Amino acid sequence: MKKRIISFSMGLSLILGATALLAADGDLIVNGNVGIGTTNPAGSLEVARSADSNQVYLTRYATTYNNILFWKDGSALKYWLGSPAWQDDGTGFGLFGHDRGKFVFRVKPSSDDLYLLPDGGNVGIGTASPDRKLHVGSNAGGIIQAHRFSSNLSTGADGVSGIVFSMRGDTVEPDDSDVRQGIFASYNGDLFISARQGATVLDNPDTYARLFIDGNDGNLGIGTTNPAHPLHMASGAYVTAGGVWTDASTRENKENITELDAQTAIDTFLSLTPVTYSCKADPDEKHVGFIAEDVPEIVAAKERKGISPMDIVALLTRVVQEQQREIEKLKLMVEELRIRN
């Protein structure tokens, strides 16, 4: 192939393969490959330089404007697209990378760079060594912020911001229908965790709220979005502001209500075996109580791993009532004997 060599001042040569035309307006038109620093350009444009310095440097007016820069650093080929040129002192805004697969998006000087590493595809924000798919490092009080531009007092889909999770058992790209869990926040300060089996939570996040913190008073609801106490269960049980656990006992939640038979209560009471014990987790913590596996069926939990104090209280109440009746009878008998004598 016939080549043309165009020499410039300072010893720079431009090697042109095939045809080169100089247009009347000063444009250089080349039909073929162009080589800068090489006599055998392998592509439309090949730049070669042996020194470890800038190989390709395209700039607009000055380094404070848009730049495209390619250079070699040791054995690594690096590039910079941004403004101004990449600087070791942390200045510059743009995209930096090299042939080892590392990419850095510089959105603010120095500490706020966004790193993409080749090993596992980890992403680091504010850290050059991310050890997770997303690793954020910062000394700021709020490291990650999720913001919704429109806001209202709703805790439904049209009024919350949050982070959601999706999983699939195949390689199909996930969509909204795969979002089964999420952490949501509302404009009025509510924060809740939603979870749903078999369908998305995005249509009505608050409907599937399993853990809910009221932004107004800090009450915690489990299974309810209207906690009226510091801890409030969906069953109606709650902990008072004074720290007293209160069982849900409304008639509305019960069925098959029958009065406890006195003899059954006495027999159950007599078969209870109170014990003293210490906790395995803390041998110094000692208690008096019962063994769930050993109590009579009538006061046993379904899984026989726990005991409801209210069951024992109801049992004892029936026993004491029956004993009180017996005491009253004995008092009458004693009084009758006293009168006769």
Look at residue 273 in the predicted model and tell me its pLDDT. 96
pTM here is 0.64
Q: Crossing angle for the helix pair 309-340 and 262-271, nearest 10 degrees?
A: 110
Checking DSSP bridges between strand 34-36 and strand 13-17, what pairing results, if any?
antiparallel
Query: Can you give the pLDDT at residue 229?
Result: 97
Residues of the chain with pLDDT under 50: 1, 7-13, 63, 85-90, 111
The pLDDT, as a whole number, for residue 122 is 81
Q: Tell me what pLDDT residue 286 has.
A: 94
Residue 174, C-beta contacts closer than 8 angstroms, at least 6 positions apart: 166, 167, 168
State the Cα–Cα distance between residues 303 and 277, nearest whole angstrom.
Answer: 21
Burial class (CB in 10 A: 0-12, 13-18, 19+), 178: middle
Rounded CA gap, 123 and 115, in Å?
6
CA 59 to chain centre: 43
Question: In the chain, helix, strand, coil percent, each to 5?
Answer: 20, 30, 50
Q: How confident is the model at residue 88, as a pLDDT?
A: 45
Residue spans of the domains in the chain: they are 160-252, 262-340
